[in-house]
Amino acid sequence: MSDQAFYSALQQKLHTLQSEGLFKPERVLASRQGAEVVAQDGRTLINMCANNYLGLSGDLETQKAAEAALQKYGYGLSSVRFICGTQTVHKELEGALSRFLGTEDTILYAAAFDANGGVFEPLFDENDAIISDALNHASIIDGVRLCKAARYRYANNDMADLEKQLQAATDAGKRHKIIVTDGVFSMDGTIAKLDEIVVLAEKYGALTMIDESHASGFMGATGRGTHEHCGVVGKIDIITGTLGKALGGAMGGFTSGRKEVIEMLRQKSRPYLFSNTLAPMIAGASLAVLERISKSTELRDRLHENTAYFRKEIERIGFTIKPGTHPVVPVMLFEAPIAQKFAARMFELGVLLSGFFYPVVPMGQARVRVQLSAAHTREQLDTVLAAFEQAGRELGILKAQ
């Protein structure tokens, strides 16, 4: 406590964040997660900003599965996986995820952040090349940084630029090349062009990796993810994803692929070797979630119906959205102060939303991001749409019809 200058500098930096409007306050909920949540002040809000795509966070059936696993396997293990932290439920979940994703084997992590942080360094070195989409998630960027491979970046979803980078890595004589992309980009709800990526990978002899955090459980005909949506199941080398969004919403992540890849990660991946095992109740609940969404398309159907309805209605009211089909719907407000005012007004009207502006999205691309859930009722969506219309009219941002 003897370096006062350190603390003064921190105070100054925090103050700057605040004055630049970049400070992120925490929103405290007094209820479980769901389509409706209770704020700390007791107000009920309709939640339009959770990654709760299938509505399973806060869901009672999921909770019951967690409780059953809690009863059987206890609270925790106080161990990493390889010492004494592997239970039958972890092996069952790894098997179920492999079957679900169409891969040979799967390794669990405490978070997808860890899965991405620990996937590159054990598999690639300075002789290799990682070719990464410019909008990939922070955890991929950090994982790549931890690895000695050469880094190539291509413009978001730009196949001409990807080919240019593949050529550059080839010209540099790189031994192994891996193309890495988010399956779905969370700021825009855009879907990676995996059909084209797989063709380019074949042409240049490259591996492929996708992060399925915003896709696993609901993209594609049976919810396997973006690879199913794009018709390339079995053609992606490595799949990472989270158990903390659609697949239950508590926490946890995974990496899935060929058995020799997963075996090497079990030997060398640092977040796996040096961090505690996934809590057994999460493993048990995740198993039940996979079983539930494999048996019935009900939740997925409701999510897609809600998404189609909201996308159609919000445009009819006079808002501009990024076109697409994903439950992430960016409602474009363009200017940062408008996005801030808009989100604040929606909060007053009882709708929880998040606004994004520079530097999270490009300058002039400020927006509020709506995320649909299977848990939203039509009535709730109509309430939200009415609030959008009111706030839009008050702020004079509706397009003339």
Ligand X SMILES: *Cc1c(COP(=O)(O)O)cnc(C)c1O
**Catalytic amino acids?**
186, 214, 245
Selected from 186, 208, 269, 373, the binder of ligand X by CB under 6 A is 186
Nearer to ligand X, 220 or 392 (CB): 220
In the three-class reduction of DSSP (H, G, I as helix; E, B as strand; rest coil), residue 2 is classed as: coil
Q: How many residues bind ligand X (CB under 6 A)?
A: 14
Question: Binding ligand X by CB under 6 A: which of 108, 111, 219, 331?
Answer: 111
- Nearest CA-CA partner of 250 in 401, 91, 108: 108
Rounded to a whole number of angstroms, the minimum distance from the CB of residue 66 to ligand X is 17
Give the residue, chosen from 66, 77, 112, 147, that forms a contact with ligand X under the rule CB under 6 A. 112
Q: Does residue 369 interact with ligand X by CB under 6 A?
A: no
- Output 56 or 111, the one with its CB closest to ligand X: 111
Write the CB contacts of 181 (distance below 8 Å, at least 6 apart in sequence). 132, 133, 136, 157, 192, 194, 197, 209, 210, 211
DSSP 8-state secondary structure symbol assigned to residue 364: T
Contact 236, 227 (CB under 8 A): yes
Q: Least distance in Å: CB of 259 to ligand X?
A: 23
Burial class (CB in 10 A: 0-12, 13-18, 19+), 41: exposed
Residue number, 262 or 397, with CB nearest to ligand X: 262
211 binds ligand X (CB under 6 A): yes
Give the span between the Cα atoms of 73 and 87, in whole angstroms. Answer: 8
Q: Is 181 in the site for ligand X (CB under 6 A)?
A: no
Q: How far is CA 7 from CA 12, 20, 24, 71, 74, in A?
A: 9, 20, 20, 46, 42
- Start-end of H helices in 74-208: 81-84, 88-101, 112-117, 138-145, 159-171, 194-204
Distance CA 372, CA 302 (A): 10
Give whole-number Cα distances, 209 to 130, 312, 380, in Å. 10, 33, 37
Is residue 139 within the footprint of ligand X (CB under 6 A)? yes
Residue 182 as a binder of ligand X (CB under 6 A): the answer is yes
Residue with Cβ nearer ligand X (273 or 398): 273
Give Rg (Cα) of the chain: 22
Is residue 269 a contact residue for ligand X (CB under 6 A)? no
- Which range in 79-87, 210-218, 219-227, 349-357 contacts ligand X by CB under 6 A? 210-218
Q: Is 190 in the site for ligand X (CB under 6 A)?
A: no
Binding mask 213-252 for ligand X (x = CB under 6 A): xx---------------------------x-x--------
Contact residues: ligand X, CB under 6 A: 111-113, 116, 137, 139, 182, 186, 211, 213-214, 242, 244, 253
